[in-house]
Amino acid sequence: MIRYTKAAFQTLLYWWGGINRHLILNSVLYLLFLVALFWAQSKWPIFRVESSTSGLSMLGSLTVFLLVFRMNQSMARNNEATERTDEMFGELDFLIHSVCSFMQGAKEDLLHDLVLNPHRVHSEEEIRIMKLHGELASMVRIHVVRLTIAFGVSCLLYFRILTALADAQGVLEEEDLVQIVFLHSRLQALLYEEEMELVDQYMGISRETDGGAGSEAEYRAETGRFRIAAQCSGLLMRPRKAGNNEEEDCRFVPQSSDIVPPLPKVILSMLVETCHTPLAQKWGYPERVLNLIASISADALDQLTHLSGLIARPVSLAYYQHCRVIVVIFSFMLPLVTEVGEDLIGSIFDNIVFPFVIYWAMSGLERLAEMMENPVGDDDTDINLLQQLHELEVGAQLAIELCENRRSMLRRTLAKVCPSCSETSKFWKNKPPLVPPIHFEDYFCWLPIPAAIAEGMVMKHGHVDHVHWAFFEGHIAEFRTFLRKALRRHTPGRRSAYEAIPQDASAEELKVYPEAEMDSTMGMIQRDTNQFWHYLAFRPVLSGLHAQGELSRQVVYADLFRNMARAMRLTGLFVLLSPAGAWLDWLWGSDPSPLSFDLRNAPELVEDRRLFPDAYKSEMAFGTYRPGVYFGIKGRHAGSFLLGLAWGSMDGKTLRHECESGELQSFNWLEHDGRNYGRQVIEDQKLQAKLQTTFVKESHQKLHARVEAETLSNSNSNSTRPMSLFLYLGVEAGDHHLQVESQDSEWETCGDFSCRSLVLTGTDPSGPFRARLSFTARKARFHQLSTRVVHEVESSEEDASLTGVWDARKHLQDHFKRVSLNASKGTKTIRVLPDSEVRDANFAAFQLAGPLAGLRIDAHVAFGGADLGARGVESLQLAELAKRSSEAFKAQVAEVFFDGSSSEKAGAAFDGVAVALSSLLGGLGSFRGRLLARTGEGAKPVRLASSVLFSGVPSRSFFPRGFLWDEGFHGLLLARWQPRIFLEVLGHWLELQQENGWIPREVPLGAEQERRVPKQFLTQDSKVANPPSFLLPLSWLLSLGLKEDEKLARQAGLSGKELRDLVLSFSAQALPRLGAWFAFLEKSQKSSNPKCFRWQGRTAAHCLASGLDDYPRGLLVNEDECHLDLQSWMALFARTLARLCKHLAEKKEALSQEANSAWCLLPRWSERAATLNASLFEAFVDPKASKSAPLADFLGLQPVERSGKVRVLPPWRSDGRCGPQFPVAGSPGECDPYGGAPCCSPSGWCGGSPDFCECPGCRRFLKLEERSSMQTGMEKAFSPHLGYVSLFPLLLGHQPCDHPRAAKLLKALAPKGELWSPFGVRSLSRKDPLSRQGEDYWRGKIWANLNYLSLSALQRCSQIPGAKEAYDSLKKGFVTVVLKALQEQGFLMENFDPDTGKGTGAAPFAGWTALVALVLADLPFSDLASPLEDSHREDL
């Protein structure tokens, strides 16, 4: 029943909830009749009836009496129904409380025991039995609550069916079906699969058609009947019996299987059975409680029967007809016998106004009686049964909390007034209960009521003011959408806007509603304490819907429900009906709904021994996993042993340790296999030294390392120039240490050199280790240090100044002591280690200082029980192992990249491939820590859960940490070299995923990494995404793995079949995480334009999320932007997952039926891919451009020049200068109003402080959209830029090579084209006004990752004229410029100047620049499937 404010004047005028809107149509028709009759009577006397009014008065009195009497009858029915529903739900509430209270359970904290035996110690067997009894009692309580609520839900569903039977011969209208599907989904959320099968069997809803083609279906309900066998094929809720044809399916079956009983009786039987279970049990209740249960059950059934009668048995038709006939006769005769007088006004009142008012009053009584006749229907006057059901759910939660969580406390309270218990009460006051109670939220959760249902609740049972204000504000036409916005659950980190709010939610999560003004309609609805928006669901059943077969059961009904949806003509109506909404949406064929993936039970990846067996993990346990230092070895377990290198000048003023940009002439891994072997050459121009480091494993328990120095070949310095080499060892775990066990006291002669050695022992969390260090030099000093240093794990938000065992440079400098030497030119001071030692050291360093030529340190480390071997033999063994490993590495390079050709035959390309590959593999690192992240808008940074990451790094010097979109391109090379390593790297990144599907774009883990990250980049933002570039190597590996490629399998040490199984098994395990990643992108990066996506976090100057940082987008940032590169990634993501699901379906054992339903069928990846592909040619087509123009970003509202072109040049500079002396395009330079320095000082500098904004002559610049001069020059526009973003549909395979819109792209890539350069593909057209402007990062520079994809696309398009020529010239130029930079500049460079070819940016950049190896080997990325049919032609 709708609510209202009784004293308000506007109750007279209310439209919704009142009687007026029900009477208006008939009353207006009657008024027209009265006006026409009055006009006829005035013209023609024949229409006047001269008669006494006494008869009419008697008829009027009789009519009023009958209507009032009928009104009283309906009111009595309504009152009876109110009383009986109150009694029924009251009885159910009493049943829950009674069962919960009477249950004895563990019999703990009884008053008798608290007083007489407070110190009693229970035996283990007694405790076990008590816990068992407690669990049994708790389970019965839970099941009674569950089934009692299900009984209430079934009553509502049953009443809905009865109403349809009484009013429409069982035909279900649209509103009936909405309610029935919602209530059915609520039953699904409460009952187990076996119980639901029984419920579905007795749901008597069938579908009927007239058999004509295209005819609409009609849905009919029945109950309390024996079902005729011929009707069984139309039943919706029951799978048909197995048979060869429809007649056999509908053969006669036993009567007990074809009855349609009242559904509440079915569930009541389950409930009574459950209530009988604890009778006469030690943990249950006495048998006499049976009388109470029987009484409550009988009363509930009695109320149900009476309510069914009120619904199914209306007033007699004769009485109903008699009343209506008399009203019609009276209404017709009244104006006929009323005399038309000479006074026009009086006649109008007598003949029109009074009859109209009388008719209005009588019609109102009749309509009210009709509305109140069925008190549990959908009229404004009917009982709100959902409210009573909600109160029952609240009472159920209270009962569980009192009888479980609070039971012990309440029982102990009873003993407080006992005079003899003062001493003993101290004993049991704080003693925890032996049997831990269950928690309500562990078994039940509150799910939000969908807007489709909430709409009817507000319209029929809400406050009338809310409905009318929604109408006046223009929301009534889309009231459901308005409610969805008003009541949307903003729960950070949750996978769905309509997911349950946890009981232990934080203050931020409990911010249920968006901000709304108190007196707004949205604010009034949000703050209406009489409304409710949630219902209870049973958690074990909810998880079962996705994991235990419920979804597969629903697949049986796919066609039936699709037909229902078409008949109802409801597009996506139940998308939000949780939990059944997801599969209903899938079955009904509407647009794919927003996804949600529960990662709480996602399968493990990197810890799955089937994917990564112990032998593999042992092999990968130790390695050069510290890419941020020039040479560092560590294990991948927490608190690992580590070994590292440092070197410097004798005076200590120069000390090398961590990789620094510009510090060295070069440092590159020349050979590295990523597992057991690596050789690196370091050239230090300042110290005139060349160092070679070698790392090789003898087994998984023994490794060797060598550092040897010599003078640079191009140096004029002689070989006697001295230098210090430092080798250090440490243990990061706080409770472990190392110490020198033995050492030579003097130098020994070893040929032309002197040598000495020592042995260290220590432990780390993996076990004990021993290390022998051998030192060789001509004339050298030897010093050592053993100390305990502070080891910090992570930084605070404010202070990132950290140190640890890894911080060797600091430790060495802190402990250096000065030593004065007498030289020919006077006294010389050098710095050496103090030769000190402590017993519990966690850091030890050893200094070898002497002439460059001949300096060498060998380290041999054995773990566990492995033997170090004989002294002197180890170094020879190291050399032999290194030689064999080098030969094996070269052979593998030849096989993978050159089809087995030798290095001599491959020529210079071989060396280029080897260095590029080795540099990438040498950048693999193992990191652990807690990422600093901002998880909500305006929230303070917090530490996420501890994480582990095994990943490559883009640059050992500048970016020695993992980057998400870089790592996908690294994977293109890594997957070819060692598929299992690539899968492990991908697994680690996927396991960084947060609950909402977000994967951080930049991951500095641990203090060693955090210290090297600029503070502004340290905190990661959970709304900022990154391109899912991992799709490229994953799809490639999946394609070759399924072909059982023997060549690729050999790299992983597997057979072709084993490789196929590995790839499919990993893909199946990773599928929910991949789906969650897609869901996060789909939800968080959604544009306000429903057809596209936009990168969140974009500013006017940067779009860091895209990876193309300063690539120009638009001067103004808008919510409705559409970013072409992101749309292309999303389409590729959906296509890849569709392919993955197809392959997994072909291997049935790879994915269970339930997982296939939840992760493949429901998301409808193929449909998503088609939709996203189609949107490329809808949202990104500029209608003002030619039909062959490339697709482009939609920028939203942008400033436009007088010529009509989009303004792309900002009026501010990028160097922070401004004013007349620093002009921009002929005008005084401005300051960027979108940054932190919008004010220009008279001296020509931009800033944001009062010194820049409030001084005389200072000027603050407004944002462009705030300037009056811009108001008339703003239009919605598409990007005018041609560059990397324009290429994405072609690069990712969405646009076929012969597409008219691809022609201009291919032309731009051809020689002398806008994107062509002699050195590769430019990131931005050379004709663009922003080319080479500003930071010039992605505004013209040549980047390896997108050059590789561009070359791959050109090779795919080789049949198009000009594409082959473009490929040849770009490939030659790109390879030349990369290798030239490696030779002349000493490194693989980050990017390249398109005009000079010089390498620029970070160095070394052995991340995606290493893709030059694939270009050299002529191995393009060719795994993209053909573009989806038809979608690419829709815009022509």
pLDDT score of 719: 64
How far, in Å, CA of 764 to CA of 736, rounded? 6
Query: In whole angstroms, what is the distance from residue 1415 CA to residue 99 CA?
Result: 74
In this predicted structure, the answer to whether residue 1334 has a pLDDT above a threshold of 70 is: yes
In this model, does residue 594 exceed pLDDT 70?
Answer: no
Can you give the pLDDT at residue 383? Answer: 80
Q: Is 722 left (phi over 0), alpha (psi -120 to 50) or beta?
A: beta
User: Residue 212 pLDDT more than 60?
Assistant: no
Tell me the average pLDDT of the chain: 81
Q: What is the pLDDT averaged over residues 885-900?
A: 91
Q: Is the pLDDT of residue 47 over 90?
A: no
Closest CA to 838 of 791, 774, 792, 789: 789
SS3 705: strand
pLDDT at residue 359, as a whole number: 82
- Residue 109, pLDDT above cutoff 50: yes
| Choice between 1164 and 11, residue whose per-residue pLDDT is larger | 1164
Position 1375 scores a pLDDT of 95
Q: CB count, 10 Å around CB of 90?
A: 18
Euclidean distance between CA atoms 954 and 1107, whole angstroms: 13
pLDDT mean over 983-999: 94
Residue 844 has pLDDT above 80, yes or no: yes
Determine which of 49-53, 128-132, 476-480 has the lowest per-residue pLDDT on average.
Answer: 476-480
pLDDT at res. 551: 35
Q: What is each CA distance from 1194 to 133, 1126, 1176, in whole angstroms? A: 66, 12, 11
Q: What is the pLDDT of residue 103?
A: 80
Confidence at residue 810, expressed as pLDDT on a 0 to 100 scale: 93
Q: Which DSSP string do the residues of 673-685 spell out, in sequence order?
A: -SSSEEEEEEEET
Burial of 1070 (0-12, 13-18, 19+ CB in 10 A): buried
Tokens of 1341: 């520079």
Q: Would you place residue 481 in the very low, low, confident or very high pLDDT band (cuts 50, 70, 90)?
A: low
Whether pLDDT at 546 is above 50: no
Residue 20 has pLDDT above 60, yes or no: yes
At 117 the pLDDT is 62
Q: Phi-psi category of 17—alpha, beta or left, where left has phi over 0 and alpha has psi -120 to 50?
A: left
Q: Which of 890, 52, 991 is nearest to 605 (CA)?
A: 991
What pairing do the DSSP bridges indicate for beta strands 843-851 and 641-648?
A: unpaired
Q: What pLDDT was estimated at residue 3?
A: 58
| pLDDT value at 391 more than 70 | yes
Q: Do residues 1113 and 1278 lie in contact, with contact meaning Cβ atoms separated by under 8 Å?
A: no
Q: What pLDDT, on the 0 to 100 scale, is given for residue 287? A: 82
Which of 89-93, 254-258, 988-992 bottoms out in mean pLDDT, i.e. has the lowest? Answer: 254-258
Cis peptide before 264 (omega within 30 of 0): no
- Confidence category of residue 186, pLDDT binned at 50, 70, 90: confident
What is the predicted pLDDT for the residue at 497? 37
Q: What is the mean pLDDT of residues 898-926?
A: 85
Q: Tell me the pLDDT band of 909, cut-offs 50, 70 and 90.
A: confident
Residue 377 pLDDT more than 80? no
Summarize pLDDT for 734-784 with one digit per residue, the tens: 889 999 999 988 888 888 889 999 999 999 999 999 999 999 998 888 999
- Residue 590: predicted pLDDT: 42
903-930 mean pLDDT: 88
Check: CB of residue 903 under 8 Å from CB of residue 890.
yes
Q: Among 145-159, 256-270, 1339-1353, 1371-1385, where is mean pLDDT lowest?
A: 256-270
pLDDT at position 350, please?
Answer: 79
pLDDT at 972 exceeding the cut of 90: yes
Does the pLDDT at position 520 exceed 90?
no
The torsion angle over the Cα atoms of residues 476, 478, 480 and 483, rounded to 10 degrees, is -70
Task: Please write the tens of the pLDDT for every residue from 1051-1091.
Answer: 888 888 889 999 999 999 999 999 999 999 999 999 999 88
CA atoms of 278 and 280, how far apart (whole Å): 6
pLDDT 10s digits, 336-349? 777 777 777 877 88
CA 144, chain centre distance (Å): 36
pLDDT tens digits for range 1113-1141: 998 899 999 999 999 999 999 999 999 99
pLDDT surpassing 50 at residue 1020: yes
> What's the average model confidence in pLDDT over 1103-1112?
94
- Summarize pLDDT for 1265-1275 with one digit per residue, the tens: 777 766 557 88
Strands 962-963 and 1002-1003: antiparallel
Q: 790-820 pLDDT, tens per residue?
A: 887 655 544 445 788 999 999 999 999 998 8
**Contact between 576 and 595 (Cβ < 8 Å):** no
For range 13-37, the mean pLDDT: 75
First to last CA, the chain: 56
Name residues whose C-beta falls within 8 Å of residue 1081's C-beta, 6 or more positions apart in sequence: 997, 1025, 1028, 1093, 1126, 1129, 1130, 1133
- Where residue 1312 falls among pLDDT bands split at 50, 70, 90? very high
805, 730 contact by CB (below 8 A): yes
Task: Tell me how crowded residue 478 is: count the other CB atoms within 10 A of its CB.
Answer: 12
| Weakest mean pLDDT among 141-145, 544-548, 1326-1330 | 544-548
Q: Contact, 1119 vs 1091, CB < 8 A?
A: no
Of the two residues 1258 and 255, the one the predictor is more confident about is: 1258
Q: pLDDT, tens digit, for every residue of 616-654?
A: 999 999 999 999 999 999 999 999 999 999 999 998 899
The average pLDDT across 1282-1291 equals 96
d(CA 732, CA 726): 19
Q: What percent of the chain is predicted at pLDDT more than 70?
A: 80
| Residue 417 in this model has a pLDDT that exceeds 70 | no
**Structure-block tokens of residue 213:** 């083609």
List, in sequence order, every residue forming a beta bridge with 929; answer none if it has no partner: 947
Say what percent of the chain tops pLDDT 90.
39
Grade residue 1264 by pLDDT with cuts at 50, 70 and 90. Answer: confident
pLDDT band at 400 (very low <50, low <70, confident <90, very high): confident
* pLDDT bracket for residue 468 (50, 70, 90): low
Distance, in Å, from the CA atom of 644 to the CA atom of 640, rounded to the nearest integer, reads 13
The b-or-e profile of 1122-1152 (16+ CB within 10 A means b, else e) is bbbbbbbbbbbbbbbbbbbbebbeeeeebbe
Place 5 in a pLDDT band, splitting at 50, 70 and 90: low
If pLDDT is split at 50, 70 and 90, which confidence band does 410 have? low
